[in-house]
């Protein structure tokens, strides 16, 4: 028996409106250097464009690797010895085809949201000539706020509970004159920051420190803990090894090495940390990193991403991938300088490239940056960029793909919402208008195995997190962008699962009031999920050979076409969004059919129907209800029906040799609509119905 999909077609009940080229976009990210020319060849670009995506969001990977980004390989160094802080050349010259990341000498991360495969912390690398140093732009010299308002910190992860009552700190310059040594009471200090608190050891509050190497007995009785934090609130403001020639060398905090363990008499010391210049060291985390580096720090990875090319801006804007539409571009903020970012935007303006929005930094939550620190950098960069062009639209924070509010260590008022505190920081400084848009990433699933039942979670996941951001205080007139999204999860992304998720999430985002959403990613390259080393079925519209040549299209390519060519009218014109609900559920109450309704500029009603029942087709009646006219309407006359499902496409999992067979495009037909008509939705399918209505 057919069940019903009801569209609320009341004219005043439209929940959103958008123009497809500006609302349904894709992304460009870091790629292997030896693949750049292949990916940006006219033949490859043409295949990418056939997916139908509009605007492009340029992703910035260097900050995930804790690197300084040389967006222009040509530029100047702050130090006369050709090292220090780099500023790219703002004067257009030879076209920029490649740009790269440079590792940071004074890094304090062993790993974070993007660095599990490269680099290491200088806090416990076993080398007393190296050191971690905090970001100078978070000091009073640049924030015009007392350093105590932006305390810097390092956290040591013992990986399991240990007895701790002593610490040895080999300070570098500048050292902390005042600091506290604390232990964590909860389970996970870094990824569950609201589920515990930092407590200062009985003798852990230090004032009037003189630097040097000190061994402190923190408590007569050892405390069992996994995490220890050194929280620094007052700097010596003495100059580091790079000398007094640059004021950035003489602010903040620096530590050569940290040792942690037990002491019975305050003299003997048993260290429980593992010190080594690689990922085998005991993990450490830090509040920020000084972006000082040298030419020899150019990042080269022998396997995962080779030298890691952030495609050059000239190549990006002239290749055709942007379709001439304004692009979202990033600036390096967490590990960059305001001067360099201002030079970058000056360069793009001089090239007359079309820019819509500017994202400030990349995933500060994944870098464990506190919201007030991000806010302090945000305002400095906003001032610098608006000095280039006061009309620039700036935004962020470019959150990782979370599905719940991001929680951080409680502040003095007990507030734990990252985004709420960031917004409060902007408000307190009278600068909320510097946030022209809010952006986040959406990756709803983790791991290699993505069971079919996960499909039932969308679109609630995307609509829920958008509501969370509003409840955190995001003003209703500030638009939201999902600037990077996919379903994660290995093979599922390229199986028919990936197509159904894509339709559900993208249409769900627009129905929830979002401004634009961006598929990750457009280029036919994407490394496998880190935990899925034998699976190349993640984040892609195409399968490629070993030379990055396209072999075949995946389910998400066809889902993209369903969205951009069938559901919407592929033109720059306003589409109105209306809600639609179905009463088709399984025995557990899961919605088996979700529906998304548009009134297109050509006057047709377009309804995308997603049958999440993997095994069974479902016949449905379509009703358009107008609450104001108190009438029900239905499709009448010729109806365009486009279907993509398991009959057209089946994925065969074979590790890196996975393939689709059959691998066919959506099935198109024309049918007649009448009152009482039912429409068959094949099992595991996307279906678009388009036509006009008649009043009952």
Q: Could you give the C-alpha distances from 239 to 128, 133, 224, 245, 251, in angstroms and in order?
A: 17, 11, 37, 9, 7
At 262 the three-state DSSP class reads strand
Question: What is the overall mean pLDDT for the chain?
Answer: 94
With tokens 């000539």, the residue in question is: 129
pLDDT of residue 113: 74
Does the pLDDT value for residue 653 go beyond 90? no
Rounded to the nearest angstrom, the gap between the alpha carbon of residue 572 and the centroid of all alpha carbons in its chain is 27
pLDDT of residue 304: 47
Q: Kindly give the pairing relationship between strand 83-88 and strand 176-184.
A: unpaired
Q: Kindly give the pairing relationship between strand 24-28 and strand 56-58.
A: parallel
The larger pLDDT score, comparing residue 303 to residue 285, is at 285
At 437 the three-state DSSP class reads strand
Instruction: List the Cα angle 389/393/396 in 5-degree steps.
Output: 130
Band the pLDDT of 658: cuts 50, 70, 90.
Answer: confident
Tell me the average pLDDT across 619-628.
95
pLDDT of residue 316: 98
Tens of pLDDT, residues 79-114: 999 999 999 999 999 999 999 999 999 999 998 876
Neighbours of 509 (CB within 10 A): 26
Lowest mean pLDDT, pick from 4-8, 549-553, 654-658 = 654-658
Q: Taking Cα atoms as reference points, which of 445, 440, 507 lies closest to residue 479?
A: 440
DSSP 466-485: HHHHHHTT--TTS-EEEEEE
Q: Taking Cα atoms as reference points, which of 574, 572, 540, 584 lies closest to residue 559?
A: 540
Q: Could you give the C-alpha distances from 308 to 31, 34, 98, 321, 341, in angstroms and in order?
A: 6, 9, 10, 20, 20
Q: Could you give the C-alpha distances from 112 to 287, 364, 642, in angstroms and in order?
A: 11, 10, 44
Beta strands in 59-142 (DSSP E): 67-70, 75-79, 83-88, 100-103, 132-133
Beta strands in 118-249 (DSSP E): 132-133, 152-164, 166-171, 176-184, 198-206, 213-217, 223-235
Q: Kindly give the pairing relationship between strand 593-599 and strand 605-611.
A: antiparallel
Which domains can be identified in the chain, with CATH numbers? Answer: 19-101+298-563 (3.20.20.80), 132-286 (2.60.120.260), 575-695 (2.60.40.1180)
Rounded to the nearest angstrom, the gap between the alpha carbon of residue 573 and the centroid of all alpha carbons in its chain is 29
Instruction: List the Cα angle 310/315/320 in 5-degree steps.
Output: 120
pLDDT of residue 8: 97
Does the pLDDT value for residue 539 go beyond 90? no
Taking the C-alpha atoms of residue 678 and residue 425, their distance in angstroms, rounded to an integer, is 54
296-327 burial, b for 16+ CB within 10 Å, e for fewer?
eebbeeeeebebbbbbbbbbbbebebbeeeeb
pLDDT of residue 317: 98
Q: Kindly give the pairing relationship between strand 394-399 and strand 355-360.
A: parallel
Tens of pLDDT, residues 119-165: 899 999 999 999 999 999 999 999 999 999 999 999 999 999 999 99
Cis peptide bond prior to 174, omega within 30° of 0: yes
Tell me the average pLDDT across 231-257.
98
Band the pLDDT of 696: cuts 50, 70, 90.
Answer: low
Q: Are 350 and 91 in contact (CB under 8 A)?
A: yes
- Assessment of whether the complete model's pTM goes beyond 0.75: yes
Tell me the average pLDDT across 568-592.
95
Instruction: Spell out the residues 6+ positions from residue 144 whose beta carbon is closer than 8 angstroms to its own.
Output: none
Rounded to the nearest angstrom, the gap between the alpha carbon of residue 206 and the centroid of all alpha carbons in its chain is 38
pLDDT of residue 301: 62
pLDDT of residue 492: 86
Q: Which two tokens stand for residue 642?
A: 């486009």
Lowest mean pLDDT, pick from 160-164, 288-292, 447-451 = 447-451
With tokens 């040509």, the residue in question is: 74
- How many helices (H) and strands (E) would you count in the chain? 11, 37
Partner residues linked to 599 by β-bridges: 576, 605
Q: Kindly give the pairing relationship between strand 83-88 and strand 100-103.
A: unpaired
Does the pLDDT value for residue 685 go beyond 80? yes
Does the pLDDT value for residue 265 go beyond 60? yes
Instruction: List the Cα angle 302/308/312 in 5-degree steps.
Output: 150
Q: Are 524 and 560 in contact (CB under 8 A)?
A: no
Taking the C-alpha atoms of residue 642 and residue 128, their distance in angstroms, rounded to an integer, is 66
Query: Taken in order 360, 363, 368, 371, is the CA torsion positive or negative?
Result: positive
DSSP H or E stretch at residue 595? strand 593-599
Does the pLDDT value for residue 198 go beyond 80? yes
- Three-state SS for 627-693 is CCCCEEEEEEEEEEEEEEECCCEEEECECECCEEEEECCCEEEEEEECCCCCEEECCCEEEEEEEEE
Tens of pLDDT, residues 12-69: 999 999 999 999 999 999 998 889 999 999 999 999 999 999 999 999 999 999 999 9
Q: Kindly give the pairing relationship between strand 176-184 and strand 223-235.
A: antiparallel
Side-chain half-sphere exposure of 645, counting CA atoms within 13 A: 22
């Amino acid at each position: 028996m057919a069940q019903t999909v009801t569209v609320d077609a009341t004219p005043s009940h439209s929940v959103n409106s958008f123009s497809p080229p500006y609302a349904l976009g894709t992304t460009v990210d870091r790629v292997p250097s030896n693949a750049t020319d292949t990916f940006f060849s006219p033949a490859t670009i043409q295949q990418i464009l056939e997916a139908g995506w509009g605007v492009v969001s340029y992703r910035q990977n260097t900050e995930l690797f804790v690197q300084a980004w040389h967006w222009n390989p040509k530029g100047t160094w702050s130090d006369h010895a050709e090292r220090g802080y780099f500023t790219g050349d703002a004067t257009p010259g030879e076209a920029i085809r490649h740009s790269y990341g440079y590792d940071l000498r004074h890094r304090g991360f062993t790993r974070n949201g993007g660095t599990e495969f490269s680099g290491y912390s200088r806090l416990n690398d076993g080398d007393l000539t190296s050191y971690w140093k905090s970001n100078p732009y978070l000091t009073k010299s640049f924030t015009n706020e007392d350093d105590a308002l932006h305390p810097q910190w390092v956290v040591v992860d013992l990986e399991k509970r240990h007895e701790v009552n002593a610490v040895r700190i080999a300070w570098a310059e500048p050292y902390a004159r005042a600091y506290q040594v604390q232990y964590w009471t909860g389970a996970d200090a870094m990824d569950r920051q609201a589920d515990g608190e930092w407590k200062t050891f009985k003798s852990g509050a230090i004032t009037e420190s003189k630097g040097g190497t000190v061994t402190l007995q923190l408590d007569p009785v050892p405390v069992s803990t996994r995490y220890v934090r050194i929280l620094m609130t007052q700097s010596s403001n003495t100059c580091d090894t790079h000398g007094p020639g640059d004021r950035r060398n003489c602010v903040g905090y620096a530590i050569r090495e940290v040792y942690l363990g037990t002491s019975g008499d305050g003299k003997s010391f048993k260290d429980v940390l593992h010190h080594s210049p690689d990922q085998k060291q005991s993990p450490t985390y830090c509040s920020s990193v000084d972006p000082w580096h040298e030419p020899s720090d150019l990042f080269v990875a022998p396997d995962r991403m080779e030298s890691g090319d952030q495609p050059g801006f000239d190549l990006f804007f002239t290749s055709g991938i942007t379709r001439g539409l304004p692009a979202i571009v990033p600036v390096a903020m967490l590990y960059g300088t305001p001067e360099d970012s201002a030079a970058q935007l000056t360069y793009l303006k001089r090239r007359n490239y079309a820019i819509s929005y500017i994202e400030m930094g990349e995933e500060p939550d994944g870098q464990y940056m506190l919201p007030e620190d991000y806010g302090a950098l945000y305002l400095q960069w906003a001032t610098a960029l608006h000095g280039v062009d006061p009309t620039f639209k700036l935004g962020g924070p470019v959150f990782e793909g979370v599905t719940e509010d991001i929680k951080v260590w409680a502040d003095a008022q007990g507030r734990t919402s990252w985004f709420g505190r960031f917004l409060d920081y902007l408000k307190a400084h009278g600068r909320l208008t510097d946030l022209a848009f809010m952006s986040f990433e959406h990756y709803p699933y983790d791991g290699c195995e993505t069971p079919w039942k996960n499909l039932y979670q969308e679109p609630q996941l995307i609509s829920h997190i958008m509501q969370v951001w509003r409840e955190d205080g995001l003003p209703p007139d500030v638009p939201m962008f999902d600037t990077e999204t996919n379903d994660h999860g290995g093979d599922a992304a390229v199986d028919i699962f990936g197509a159904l998720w894509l339709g559900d999430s993208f249409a769900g985002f627009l129905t929830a009031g979002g401004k634009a959403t961006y598929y990750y990613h457009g280029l036919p390259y994407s490394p496998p999920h880190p935990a899925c080393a034998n699976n190349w079925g993640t984040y892609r519209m195409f399968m490629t050979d070993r030379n990055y040549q396209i072999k075949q299209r995946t389910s998400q390519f066809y889902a993209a076409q369903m969205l951009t060519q069938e559901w919407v009218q592929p033109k720059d014109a306003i589409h109105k969004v209306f809600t639609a609900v179905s009463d088709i559920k399984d025995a557990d109450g899961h919605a088996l059919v979700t529906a998304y309704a548009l009134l297109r500029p050509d006057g047709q009603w377009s309804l995308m129907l997603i049958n999440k029942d993997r095994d069974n087709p479902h016949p449905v009646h379509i009703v358009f209800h107008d609450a104001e006219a108190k009438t029900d309407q239905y499709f009448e006359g010729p109806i365009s029906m486009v279907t993509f499902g398991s009959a057209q496409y089946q994925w065969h999992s074979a590790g890196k040799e996975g393939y689709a067979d059959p691998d066919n495009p959506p099935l198109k037909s024309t049918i007649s609509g009448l009152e009482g008509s039912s429409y068959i939705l094949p099992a595991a399918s996307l279906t678009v119905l388009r036509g006009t209505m008649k009043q009952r």
